[in-house]
Amino acid sequence: MSPDMAPWVAARATGLVAYALLAGAMLAGLAVKSRSTAPMKGGEAVDLHRHLSLLALCATAAHGVLLVLDDEIDISPLALAVPGLVPYRPLWTGLGVATAWLMLAVHVSFRLRKRMGPKNWRRLHYATYAAFAGATLHGLLSGTDSGSGWALALYGGASVAVFTMTGWRIAGSARPAGPMRPPRPAQAGSSRSRR
């Protein structure tokens, strides 16, 4: 490998690492309230979710900066901020830029949760599914390694894991928290028995 190829190889590597970290952040977030028998407690899962989210953002930023440094394709710093300005596969690279902004918004919402309120924060947090889908499509349709068996295994494995964990969480939230208790009988002298 020549020194000229280093930014391109590093850009590819950081893009794949960012995707893996995003998938890990999704899985850790889904594990927070899942009623699984996972060895991780809720607080630990929240911390892991936040840290993986931050690391995914850092890897995404490194991915973009390294693409700007690559001489093989002309990418301006502005193209990292505005979707569609990258000349190479503009739709799919633009989706990557939009996904990065969405990831940033969701991550920043951790600090704004009290101001936003739990309901609005949760609604915004559902956007992580859009970010994950966007990152998957970006990688598959603009990544130079996306035709490789190992890259397809990464995207497919991460997608199946997120889909499965989502189903597990939905199924877990549909079950009652504990055993159902029979209703208590009304006491003879209570106001209920007089009605």
Nearest to 29 by CA among 136, 109, 115: 109
pLDDT digit string, tens, across residues 141-174: 998 888 899 999 999 999 999 999 999 888 877 6
pLDDT digit string, tens, across residues 76-109: 999 999 999 998 999 999 999 999 999 999 999 9
pTM for the whole structure = 0.83
